[in-house]
Amino acid sequence: MALVFTFPCGRCGKKYSVYYPKAFVYSVYGTGTPAQGAREDAEEQAAGAVDAAKRRAEAVGNVWVDVSQQPKITCTCGKNLDLDLAHHPRVPQRKGVSGARQAGVIAFPSTPKGGHGTHKGTPGMPKASPSS
C-alpha cells in the first residue's frame, strides 16, 4: 500500500498528491530500517501500487509529487508547501491501524489569523515577489 497524502495548497487550493516512500518515512521516523523501507518500496513499485496511486491522483487533477525527490514544492501560485511530515504532527503515525491510513488530508494553515502557529512555512503570507 503506497503511502500517499493529499496536500491542498492553502492559498489557491491546488491539490498535491504526495507519495512518501517507506524508505523515506522509515528514515525520518525510525519506524523501520531504511533497508526494510527500500524493500517495501520496491515491492509496491513492482506491484504497481505506486503507479496506480499516481494515476488516481492525476485522474482527479492532483499534482503527483515524490517526496524523496521533492521534499519541498512551490505551488504554481507561489506558495511554498512544506511536505515534511515532521512538520505536520496531525499525521497519524500509527502503523497498520485500519482507517485513515491512506489519502489522509493534511490541512495547511490556510486561514491567516496572524502570528499564530509554529509552522515553519508561511501561512497566508508568502512572499509575493513577482519577478518574472
Q: Give the integer Cα–Cα distance in Å for 25 and 9.
A: 22
In this complex, which beta carbon is closest to Zn ion, that of residue 26 or of residue 108? 108
Q: Which is nearer to Zn ion, 4 or 9 (CB)?
A: 9
User: Is-contact 25 41, C-beta < 8 A?
Assistant: no
For the window 48-87, what string marks contact with Zn ion as x by the rule CB under 5 A?
---------------------------x-x-x--------
Contact flag: residue 12 with Zn ion (CB under 5 A): yes
Q: Is 39 in the site for Zn ion (CB under 5 A)?
A: no
Q: In angstroms, what is the minimal distance from the CB of 58 to Zn ion?
A: 17
Contact between 105 and Zn ion by CB under 5 A: the answer reads no
The interaxial angle of helices 34-47 and 22-29, nearest 10 deg, is 160
Q: How far apart are the first and last CA of the chain?
A: 41
| Calpha distance 124→10 (Å, rounded) | 7
- Footprint of Zn ion on this chain (CB under 5 A)? 9, 11-12, 14, 75, 77, 79
